[in-house]
Amino acid sequence: MSDTSYIARTSGLKFKDYLGYAMVDTTGCLIFSLVTTLLQKFYTDIFHLSPLFIMLMFIGARIWDAINDPIMGRICDTVKPGRFGRYRQWLLYAALPLALSGVLMFVRFPGLGEEGNLLRTCVYATCTYVFFGMAYTVLQIPYGSLASVVTTDAHERSKLSVWRSIGAALGSVPVMLIASFAYAKRLDENGNVVLGENGRAITDMQYAPVIRGVIAMALCSLALLLIAFALNQERVKTKPRAPEKGAAVKAMKLLFQNRAFVAVSMASMLLLAGQMFTQSFYTYLFDDYFHANWMNLASQACTYSPMLVLMFCLPNLARKLGKKEICAVGTLAAALANLALFFLRGMDPGVLMWVFLVLCFVSGCGLTTLVMQLWAMVTDAIDDLEVSTGSRDDGTAYSVFNFFRKLGQVLSAVCVNGALLRMNYRYEKGAVQTLANLKSMYDLATLIPAVLFGLMSLILFVWYPLNRLRVARLQQDKEQKLREALEAREIEI
């Protein structure tokens, strides 16, 4: 690329830049993973809330997000940048509220979760969960937008997406340690181990190790986010948009008319729904069906370990073969792996647990392609919108994209709690699951992800339009747009 290239002048990332960008998602996922993995079972087993209430609460929180997220997006696009930049400053503002919300969701104040205090428990759970959602929005929407001002080079954005995925994976691992060691065998009045209908010992989630682990993760999240704030740098300095009547509606209308943006948003929604479903529902499966809580950590290792290999080759594969192409094939492999698990449901659980982990690894290999390239594909879609319409509102775009991902959380909540209701899961204190319940649990734990990942693959194959050749042309068109914006003094370098 020549010295006069405007893209060259707004690129050139170093290791520090990739590390700092990835660390933001590590901090966010330290808290978010508590929600995706532990919170559902904490609500049923510690707070003794019904799956129906939990599902309705999650849906209600997402209705509020439909108002909250676009507001945050427009704030990012219209508020004058501070001394720390347009998007980077929000990393600092979100640090304490996010850490605090993570702890409050898991604090069991006296009376919560006990008989006679159901209403108080429901109100507390709802308020703290909504608080978390708002704090997470303050971090995630500016963070998504940050990529567009860190670099304008497509290959560097692809590498940023890979690093972000690695950061998210690292942030998701510690919660598995809590999930693996937060259980103890149930004892009867005489101190004997209580057995279920399948003859295996029943285990229960314990409050003390959970809250200790949550506090430790929240403190780590706070410290790491402050470090990430210091490491990040905005290279493209955009000027704030003057508030215009109807500008937000116009911007969102253009986004929904862009095929690439809608397709990648739908794929992301299904990806998050599938990930959250497995992370949350597996805690039930490993505890009640396999009676092997160590599988929480093992399954996460199988899911995320492919990143250790693919992180080195995926950016080059994406450049040579295309992001769309490798992600569509990868998600199809994940769907087939989960479908295979469904058809193996008749195996002895002692053998099946090892087959389950092997196919979790296969599924993880497939999903890693999209997980690592997702954020680069979003930026490509926003570039496509800018080139075709001349409109670029990163904050608004990421607020809409973030809302799609929160719809994925709703879909996950419906799937998890719908599955619990369908199998007649017993959540009362001292409850024991029947053999029929456990068989239904396994079927739903494998079939639902197969469907979600299959739909995701179909969207990428058929609907998402930005193949390798179109992205290459897009890079050339973006160079011209950047030149025009600089000459018009709409941006600074």
204-221 tens-digit pLDDT: 889 999 999 999 999 999
SS3 state at 199: coil
Please check the confidence at residue 279 and state whether its pLDDT lies above 50. Answer: yes
**C-alpha–C-alpha distance, residues 149 and 210, integer Å:** 39
Enumerate residues 6+ apart whose C-beta is below 8 A from 279: 33, 36, 37, 172, 300
| Token pair in block for residue 435 | 């053999």
* Summary mean pLDDT of the chain: 87
For the chain, which domains are there?
6-492 (1.20.1250.20)
d(CA 287, CA 157): 40
User: Phi and psi for 104 in degrees, rounded to 5?
Assistant: -60, -35
pLDDT (0 to 100) of residue 242: 61
Q: How far apart are CA 461 and CA 335, in angstroms?
A: 14
Distance of alpha carbon 287 from alpha carbon 182, whole angstroms: 11
**1 has pLDDT over 60:** no
In one-letter notation, the amino acid at residue 201 is A
Q: What is the mean pLDDT of residues 458-472?
A: 93
Q: Which helix (H) or strand (E) holds 32?
A: helix 15-33
Cα(70)–Cα(91) distance, integer angstroms:
18
**In the Cβ-directed half-sphere of 182, how many Cα atoms lie within 13 Å?**
30
- Please tell me what DSSP assigns to residue 182: S
Contact status, residue 310 vs residue 169, Cβ threshold 8 Å: no
Residue 186: pLDDT above 90?
A: no
The HSE-up count of residue 235 (CA atoms within 13 Å, CB side) is 16
Show the CA angle centred on residue 373, arms to residues 369 and 378, nearest 5°.
140
Mean pLDDT of the region 432-438: 87
Which DSSP state fits 36? I
**Cα–Cα distance for residue pair 145/73, rounded to 1 Å:** 9
Please report the beta strands in 261-313, taking only residues with DSSP state E, as ranges in sequence order.
none
Residues 6+ apart with CB under 8 A from 486: 6, 492, 493
Can you give the pTM of this predicted structure?
0.78
Specify the pLDDT at position 341: 97
Q: Which two tokens mark 54?
A: 């939990």
Evaluate if residue 244 carries a pLDDT over 80: no
pLDDT tens for each residue of 87-116? 899 999 999 999 999 999 999 999 888 877
The 10s digit of each residue's pLDDT in 32-61 is 999 988 999 999 989 999 999 999 999 998
Question: Would you state the structure tokens that stand for residue 244, as one six-digit string?
Answer: 């215009």
Q: Please tell me the distance from the alpha carbon of residue 117 to that of residue 121, in angstroms, as a whole number.
A: 6
Which of the residue ranges 84-93, 177-186, 293-302, 362-371 has the most confident prediction, judged by mean pLDDT?
Answer: 362-371
Q: Which residues contact 68 (CB under 8 A, 6 or more apart)?
A: 133, 134, 137
Residue 331 and residue 366 in contact, taking contact as beta carbons nearer than 8 Å? yes
pLDDT of 2 strictly over 90: no
In 63-190, beta strands by DSSP E: 183-185
- The mean-pLDDT minimum among 89-93, 192-196, 236-240 falls in 236-240
CA distances from 431 to 75, 256, 428 (A): 48, 47, 5
Q: Indicate the pLDDT class of residue 5, thresholds 50, 70 and 90.
A: low
Residue type, 450: A
Give CB contacts under 8 A, 24+ apart, made by 56-62. 57/122, 57/125, 57/126, 57/129, 58/129, 58/409, 58/410, 58/413, 58/417, 59/410, 59/413, 59/414, 60/126, 61/126, 61/129, 61/130, 61/133, 62/406, 62/407, 62/409, 62/410
